[in-house]
Amino acid sequence: MRLSHLLALAVALPFLASCGSDLKIISKSGIHSHGSSAKDFKVTPPSSALIASAAGKPKDKHSMPVYSFSERHRVVRTTAYTCSECDHIQYGSKNATGTALRYSDRVRSAAADWSFYPVGTVFRVKGMKQLYVIDDYGSALTGTGTIDMYQPSKELMNKWGRRNVEISVVQWGSFKRSAEILSQRTKFDHCRQMLANITRQRPDLRSVAAR
């Protein structure tokens, strides 16, 4: 093996080792019994009425409906990610708020554009008993209503794949906290874009964004 490859592996190993090291991970033997089947995750398809109601709504770049904040039940495009992916490995098991990514039989982490789903937003996927919390973001999500579902392994990430699901928003997160965090990261294009969209919707937060 080339020396450069050995050095790259040496750099990556600490992050891989920390990936999930402080998470409440469901054991492999318990995955099916906790409603996270690698086969289907026990997700119930969106209702036909909700799909029909989405037809006349404005669409994002993935042709998915864009909802108003008063609408808590919605059809959402979801993808999946894990902390050992090349574009997340530098962050290890941490989310965008600096705390540990979560994956338990009660609460799990998810990423989104914080101008669509502000940090701290809690939602439930139809057919799944766990609550999901928006505590992360990603550049590929900017400008869309897509939600990226955290998975603790590449196997589960690939099993989830990309799917449209029905969610219900249990509690909205904080635009103020989102703006406070993003205002410290404006050197990144996607953070600037999210922050600009937040202040467009909430002009009262412009002073927070300018800090």
**Size (the chain), residues:** 211
Return the CATH number of the domain spanning residue range 25-173. Answer: 2.40.40.10
Domain ranges of the chain: 25-173, 175-211
The full DSSP string for 139-167 is GGGTTS--EEEE-SSHHHHHHH-SEEEEE
pLDDT at 2: 46
Residue 79 CA from chain centroid, whole number: 8
pLDDT tens-digit readout, 121-158: 999 999 999 999 999 999 999 999 999 999 999 999 99
* β-pair partners for 136: 111
Per-residue pLDDT reduced to its tens digit, 41-94: 789 999 999 999 999 999 999 999 999 999 999 999 999 999 865 444 445 589
